[in-house]
């Protein structure tokens, strides 16, 4: 049950506010494409369109809210300088605005922010922006930014928990409705990634006025489900920990303003969580099939697509929220996807120290389509046995039961390491 008494007083955002924002920022950013996706449409039976916010100049929708918020500052406020905190995408929008408008800015990002995002912040901001890396997550970086603003009098440009930011993000929905109308279609459902909630709240605000029949699905990573926790608690709560992998949505606490908007629209809103492994699988699918370079948060919407219970032929839009991905992360993305799909497994194998045991493992235990991807001898326990960490990639997830049966029948002691356990994290995660 949502207790509205615990939510701050807030003036609702209407479609007219978002249309004004659209007019304000249209001189700086062009509408992003809305592309029909034949593959996902065939897979699901829906008419699936992708809203390509990864094609913004800063490769993320975040430029919308950042630009609108900064254009609303008075000359005196601009002279005081700008401070913001971000996981990386909002920072690029702020950096872009600082450079083009000649405003000094300081941008705080957490330590897990990928190098690619840090480098792009510097490029967009030039000599007008100072980048400060601090804190283990977004919330710690945000605390540092607010302290800076308190100490110096700089103006905070919030990444999601501010009316101007939410209003700017709502221009995504204004474009989607217009683009579908131009081809004679109306929007049945839109699937939106959720971190702090600003994008979902802006889209919901616009559709509530202009397309009230449209369903909205907010999708969070399982390791940072702050909106789900807020609805369970009746208001925003701070998660104890978050998994930073989906960095664009790794927020410990959904914004107060976004939550109030979403809580007022539960009749048209659904929310869901998806595993990080599922996100990786869909991210790779977008790259290999559509040539879309999405970041993990950018693939959240597609990761939920196959779980939607909609009529055949429903018009569904998935927001590809960002494309700031570091190529150095692809090994980890591949690994997480393989584990999620049941194709990658790790074992501690205690080999009898006798000639031919490795050959026996290869010929009598492994299946014909199984590959060894890791073989690391750990230590010799005694004269009879020696343990090895073995990584296997299976030809099919259905091959696992047979493999486990053959291991159980062998003389080798084989321990199947399970993701999320201490031994898995200790032995595998660091590889």
* Active site positions, annotated: 62, 321
Q: What are phi and psi of 384, to 5 degrees?
A: -95, -35
Beta bridge partners of 50: 35, 318
Beta bridge partners of 346: 391, 417
Please report the DSSP string for 294-311 in residue order.
Answer: --GGGGHHHHHHTT----
Residue 392's contacts (CB-CB under 8 Å, 6 or more residues apart) are 344, 345, 346, 347, 366, 370, 371, 372, 373, 403
The residue behind tokens 């869909």 is: 282
Please give the Cα distance from 88 to 66 (Å, whole number). 12
Residue 257's contacts (CB-CB under 8 Å, 6 or more residues apart) are 8, 10, 161, 162, 163, 166, 201
Compute the Cα dihedral for 198, 54, 117, 332 and give only its sign: positive
* 175's tokens: 């474009």
* 193's tokens: 């990634």
Q: With H, G, I as helix, E, B as strand and everything else as coil, classify residue 221.
A: strand
State how far Cα 313 lies from the chain centre. Answer: 27
- Nearest CA to 258 out of 166, 137, 364 is that of 166
């Amino acid at each position: 049950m949502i207790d509205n008494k615990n939510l701050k007083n807030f003036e609702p955002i209407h479609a007219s506010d978002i249309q004004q924002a659209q007019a304000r920022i249209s001189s700086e950013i062009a509408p992003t494409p809305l592309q029909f996706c034949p593959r996902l449409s065939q897979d699901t039976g829906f008419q699936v369109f992708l809203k390509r916010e990864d094609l913004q100049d800063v490769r993320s929708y975040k430029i919308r809210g950042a630009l609108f918020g900064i254009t609303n500052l008075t000359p005196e406020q601009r002279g005081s300088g700008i401070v913001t905190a971000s996981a990386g995408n909002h920072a690029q929008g702020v950096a872009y605005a600082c450079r083009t408008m000649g405003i000094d800015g300081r941008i705080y990002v957490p330590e897990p922010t990928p190098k690619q995002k840090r480098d792009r912040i510097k490029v967009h901001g030039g000599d007008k922006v100072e980048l400060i890396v601090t804190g283990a997550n977004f919330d710690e970086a945000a605390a540092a930014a607010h302290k800076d603003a308190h100490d110096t009098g700089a103006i905070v440009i919030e990444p999601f928990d501010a009316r101007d930011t939410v209003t700017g993000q709502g221009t995504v929905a204004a474009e989607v409705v217009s683009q579908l109308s131009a081809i004679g279609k109306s929007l049945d459902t839109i699937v939106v990634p959720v971190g702090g909630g600003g994008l979902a709240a802006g889209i919901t605000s616009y559709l509530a006025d202009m397309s009230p029949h449209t369903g909205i699905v907010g999708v969070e990573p399982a390791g940072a489900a702050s909106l789900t926790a807020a609805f369970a608690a009746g208001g925003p709560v701070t998660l104890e920990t978050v998994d930073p992998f989906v960095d664009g949505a790794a927020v410990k606490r959904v914004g107060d303003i976004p939550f109030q908007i979403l809580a007022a629209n539960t009749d048209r809103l659904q929310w869901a969580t998806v595993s990080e492994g599922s996100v990786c699988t869909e991210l790779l699918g977008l790259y290999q099939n559509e040539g879309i370079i999405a970041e993990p948060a950018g693939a959240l919407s597609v990761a939920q697509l196959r779980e939607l219970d909609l009529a055949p032929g429903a018009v569904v839009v998935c927001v590809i929220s960002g494309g700031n991905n570091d190529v150095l992360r692809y090994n980890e993305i591949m690994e997480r996807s393989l584990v999620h799909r049941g194709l990658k497994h790790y074992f501690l194998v205690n080999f009898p120290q006798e000639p031919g045991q490795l050959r026996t493992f290869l010929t009598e235990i492994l299946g014909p389509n199984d590959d060894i991807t890791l073989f690391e001898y750990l230590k010799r326990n005694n004269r009879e046995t020696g343990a090895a960490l073995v990584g296997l990639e299976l030809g099919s997830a259905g091959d696992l039961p047979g493999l486990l049966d053959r291991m159980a029948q062998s003389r080798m002691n084989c321990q199947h390491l399970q993701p999320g356990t201490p031994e898995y994290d200790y032995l595998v995660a660091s590889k």
